[in-house]
Amino acid sequence: MSKIVLNVYRPEKGVCGVVRLNEQAEKLVKQLQRETGLSAKHIVSQIIIQGYDLVEIKEEK
């Protein structure tokens, strides 16, 4: 019997998007940069990664 073959095309590593922050969020990220010395990219990435499980999605009907 022949095998079933599924071809998977994975995106290249390093693909990233750009997100624009509103004024309040930008001020908070800049404050965290001053306090930690970390890059905005690192700070925002960690907030998203660590906070992902804290997000609850509610569908409005």
Q: Please answer whether residues 32 and 43 qualify as being in contact, where contact means their C-beta atoms are separated by less than 8 angstroms.
A: yes
pLDDT number for residue 15: 66
- Taking the C-alpha atoms of residue 1 and residue 44, their distance in angstroms, rounded to an integer, is 50
The 10s digit of each residue's pLDDT in 4-57 is 777 777 766 776 788 999 999 999 999 999 999 999 999 999 999 999 999 998
Q: In the chain, what are the domain boundaries?
A: 24-51
Number of H helices, E strands in the chain: 2, 0
